Amino acid sequence: MEYWQKDIETMGREQLQELQLKRLKETVKLAVNSPFYKEVFEKNGLTPDSIQTLDDLQKIPFTTKNDLRTHYPFGMAAIPIQKCVRIHSSSGTTGNPTVVLHSARDLDQWANQVARCMYMVGLRDTDVFQNTSGYGMFTGGLGFQYGAERLGALTVPAAAGNTKRQIKFITDFGTTCLHIIPSYATRLAEVMYEMGIDPRRDTKLHTVCIGAEPHSEEQRKRIEQLLGVKAYNCFGMSEMNGPGVAFECPEQNGLHIWEDYVIPEIINPTTLEPVPEGEIGELVLTTINREAMPLLRYRTRDLTRFIPGECPCGRTHRRLARFVGRSDDMIILKGVNIFPIQIEKILMNFKELGSNYLITIETVGYNDEMLIEVELSDLFTDDYSALERLAKEVTRQLKDELLLTPRVRLVGKGSLPAPEGGKAVRVKDLRKLC
Amino acid sequence: MEYWQKDIETMGREQLQELQLKRLKETVKLAVNSPFYKEVFEKNGLTPDSIQTLDDLQKIPFTTKNDLRTHYPFGMAAIPIQKCVRIHSSSGTTGNPTVVLHSARDLDQWANQVARCMYMVGLRDTDVFQNTSGYGMFTGGLGFQYGAERLGALTVPAAAGNTKRQIKFITDFGTTCLHIIPSYATRLAEVMYEMGIDPRRDTKLHTVCIGAEPHSEEQRKRIEQLLGVKAYNCFGMSEMNGPGVAFECPEQNGLHIWEDYVIPEIINPTTLEPVPEGEIGELVLTTINREAMPLLRYRTRDLTRFIPGECPCGRTHRRLARFVGRSDDMIILKGVNIFPIQIEKILMNFKELGSNYLITIETVGYNDEMLIEVELSDLFTDDYSALERLAKEVTRQLKDELLLTPRVRLVGKGSLPAPEGGKAVRVKDLRKLC
């Protein structure tokens, strides 16, 4: 077993927490130099000295994307702008964009973070790494570029688009690893087969890093099979630098989140309290290895849970489960938090069911009820008693998952509005507000 | 006067040549590790020891773009591919692309080269540098990104396109410098004025680096006036890393070519002999500060001349004049080398003439003759004697420039085929091959 930074990656919990506390204290001292955190600390009667233990982190209010927007462009900067060397900015299609600032040290540490992830999945300086991300402002471009160069791989900065050219690079340069979004990985494989190129036979590809798009275990398996590779899930977001925040190890069972870079919390997005260990909630991150723009208790809106127990790979940094959606998608019904992805997961288990479904929340008498309509697949019978048995089994499994009993209605293929481009509308909330 | 690397930038000629010879010898020793140069040296009875003086460089045959194509992808590599960390590749729209390989050391030196250029035109770590180049394979993106970060400027990796967003970044981030192609600089300024933004009043822009596209002194002046900036001409090509090969200093009179990175020669593209000092010819470059893929006597096809004399800025590295075209455009007539740009330059001096012209070379009897047809501008008279006087004066000035006498025919506006998109056809060669 080999590590990029063995001492840090396999550090005991106690020592890791000492490191976190040391870095947290430094981070807080820096953060209060920014106009934003200066005000937050003053308003809440806090000073850097208020943070003496890791638990003291809880004293600090959450930071949200909206805080970044309202303090655009430089209100979160903790060091003079002249000491920053890079800006990454979101597109800002609605309202002000969000901006993240980096010092030269920040970029250096980020490159190390990405190199550590790549090394973890077996990549070495002998690999040829092709990055199909957009470059420029999108952090998947420069983030992986710097990380892969740090690793010493031969980088092919292909950037996004032009599938034929991507394939020419893969075959001509002997590309062994791609960074690619999952839907494009499938597309790329399809085009290769159409061109008579079998990626398993005709290329040197052995690894792909997939991210930036939610995807299922089935999709990963399909990508692995089509391309003849191992596919590793990666998590990043521009507010936390970009790629490299958390990454799967060869076990492919959860993403190690680098706890020397961030302190992760998982909270109930309604009560804002920590969820019990192992339960799903919103990921909250505090940067502890960044100087230009520290973020304290940043609400990522991304939903996941900690995977309990030790990882056989020997790394001690905690693992996040596959992300299940965004907290903005959460439905609260009878005091229970429900995410559409939980329902989808159950429905997808039944081969008798198609992939189109609709969740309707409505007020019936004095009660709020959930109705789940789901299309049958092509294959299924119209035998009434078989349908009834199926509906019962689906309901039972949903009840186990959601802890409440939805009404389930099986409908014929094509009965529900078909998803057209972009995001399908899966939830209709028709509750009466009293 | 301040320099990025004073010792090197102001180095005396003798010392600079010593450095060049030392680096040339190292480069040749490396180069023969590549399959391509190994063969070139063997075929020509050369060994690295054949190079004992700078003049010995002449013993080595030229390298052409075609050599790069036929040794695609890795036949020019002088170190093991595993020691390379980046590939830049041309688009290869016709035939194989050309590939340039870089080691970590090469990228480090390239970043230094670009930082030196930026520092020369007055940029400092307090500047905000917005790069409007495409990123990925195009070297103007990553080349300037690494250089500007090395300088310590705050970089805005805007990448190409989306003019409104470029303008938002310029105003919101206080951008002081742009890297931009000349035609887009004009376009950007126009859009700003349309939006009611006066870049001279409403932005902090003070400098733009323009390159990658031929442009005239008038265009530079127009960009400077529209944006309220100083505009500096920069020269680069992917075969020589990318941006940073040569760059104007604040004198704006020629581009210093960094002679600790390359050895420049200017040759007659027909005879392949050096042109007399100060005459126009094809630029030939030998890399002397690159390890992954050295290029010896690489024919750039770009036409320029050395500007004689010392530069008031104190830098001792020779200056190249504004590039006047590509050697592929050269016309040879009666043993004289003529470039269409020479003719255009003369014609543009006459406000009585329009911008559309056509050069025809034809065999008349036993002689090859040049006919230049040029449209009159809107403004001009149809008074025959005035026309005759004009034609005579145009002919006289052309004769002075070209050292042969062309026939000149003034034609009405709209008589010549209008240039449609892309490159106008300016030269028709109708000579009979005997």
Model pLDDT for residues A137-188, shown as the tens digit of each residue = 999 999 999 999 999 999 999 999 889 999 999 999 999 999 999 889 988 9
Give the CATH class of B1-327: alpha beta
| A158 closest CB neighbour out of B137, B152, B155 | B137
> Residue B324: pLDDT band by 50, 70, 90 thresholds?
confident
Amino acid present at A322? R
**Which chain B residues are within 8 Å of A152, Cβ to Cβ?**
85, 104
Percentage of residues of chain B with pLDDT beyond 90: 72
Say which residue the tokens 């009897």 belong to: B365
Model pLDDT for residues B145-181, shown as the tens digit of each residue = 999 999 999 999 999 988 999 999 999 999 999 999 9
Model pLDDT for residues B255-306, shown as the tens digit of each residue = 999 999 999 999 998 899 999 988 989 999 999 999 999 999 999 999 999 9
Contact B82 A126 (CB under 8 A): yes
For chain A, the C-alpha Rg in angstroms (whole number) is 23
Bridge partner list, A154: A128
Output the 3-class SS for chain A: CCCCCHHHHCCCHHHHHHHHHHHHHHHHHHHCCCHHHHHHHHHCCCCHHHCCCHHHHHHCCCECHHHHHHCCCCCCCCCCHHHEEEEEECCCCCCCCCEEEEEHHHHHHHHHHHHHHHHHCCCCCCCEEEECCCCCCCHHHHHHHHHHHHHCCEEECCCCCCHHHHHHHHHHHCCCEEEECHHHHHHHHHHHHHCCCCHHHHCCCCEEEEECCCCCHHHHHHHHHHHCCEEEEEECCHHHCCCCCEEECCCCCCEEECCCCEEEEEECCCCCCECCCCCCEEEEEEECCCCCCCCCCEEEEEEECEECCCCCCCCCCCEECCCCEEHHHCEEECCEEECHHHHHHHHHCCCCEEEEEEEEEEEECCEEEEEEEEEECCCCCCCHHHHHHHHHHHHHHHHHHHCCCCEEEEECCCCCCCCCCCCCCCEEEECCCC
The mean pLDDT of B28-55, rounded to a whole number, is 98
Tokens of B414: 């709209």
- A253–chain B nearest CA distance, Å: 30
Mention every residue, 6+ apart, whose C-beta is less than 8 A from residue B245.
B113, B235, B236, B237, B257, B258, B261, B262, B285
Residue-level pLDDT at B407: 93
Contact B159 A137 (CB under 8 A): yes
Residue intervals in chain A for CATH 3.30.300.30: 331-430
Does residue B433 surpass a pLDDT of 60?
A: no
| A73 closest CB neighbour out of B85, B125, B172 | B172
Contact B157 A169 (CB under 8 A): no
Contact B85 A135 (CB under 8 A): no
pLDDT along chain A (434 residues), means of 10: 94 98 98 98 98 98 95 97 96 78 98 98 98 95 98 97 93 97 90 96 97 79 95 95 97 97 95 91 97 98 94 98 81 80 84 87 85 86 85 93 90 79 69 61
Mention every residue, 6+ apart, whose C-beta is less than 8 A from residue B361.
B331, B333, B368, B369, B370, B371, B427, B428, B429, B430, B431
Model pLDDT for residues A381-398, shown as the tens digit of each residue = 778 888 899 999 999 999
Q: Does A122 touch chain B (CB under 8 A)?
A: no
| A136 closest CB neighbour out of B92, B135, B148 | B135
Q: CATH second-level architecture of A331-430?
A: 2-Layer Sandwich (3.30)
**Which chain A residues are within 8 Å of B238, Cβ to Cβ?**
none
Residue-level pLDDT at A165: 93
Does residue B225 surpass a pLDDT of 50?
A: yes
Residue intervals in chain B for CATH 3.30.300.30: 331-429
Residue intervals in chain B for CATH 3.40.50.12780: 1-327
Residue-level pLDDT at B335: 76
For B25: left if phi > 0, alpha if psi spans -120 to 50, otherwise beta; the answer is: alpha
For A172, the closest chain B residue by CA position comes to: B73
Regarding predicted confidence, which is higher, B381 or A273? A273
- A86–chain B nearest CA distance, Å: 5
- B83–chain A nearest CA distance, Å: 7
**Angstrom distance (rounded) from CA A291 to CA A19:** 16
| B136 closest CB neighbour out of A135, A154, A172 | A135
ipTM: 0.83
- B302–chain A nearest CA distance, Å: 27
Contact B154 A89 (CB under 8 A): no
> Residue B234: pLDDT band by 50, 70, 90 thresholds?
very high
CATH code reported for the domain at B331-429: 3.30.300.30
Does residue B320 surpass a pLDDT of 80?
A: yes
Q: Does A157 touch chain B (CB under 8 A)?
A: yes
**Which chain B residues are within 8 Å of A91, Cβ to Cβ?**
165
Residue intervals in chain A for CATH 3.40.50.12780: 1-328
Does residue B434 surpass a pLDDT of 60?
A: no
Contact A155 B82 (CB under 8 A): no
Residue-level pLDDT at B215: 75
Residue-level pLDDT at A325: 76
Give the CATH class of A1-328: alpha beta
The mean pLDDT of B418-426, rounded to a whole number, is 61
- Selected for mutation to probe chain B from A87, A101, A129 (highest B CB count within 10 Å) is A87
Q: Does A425 touch chain B (CB under 8 A)?
A: no
For B91, the closest chain A residue by CA position comes to: A165
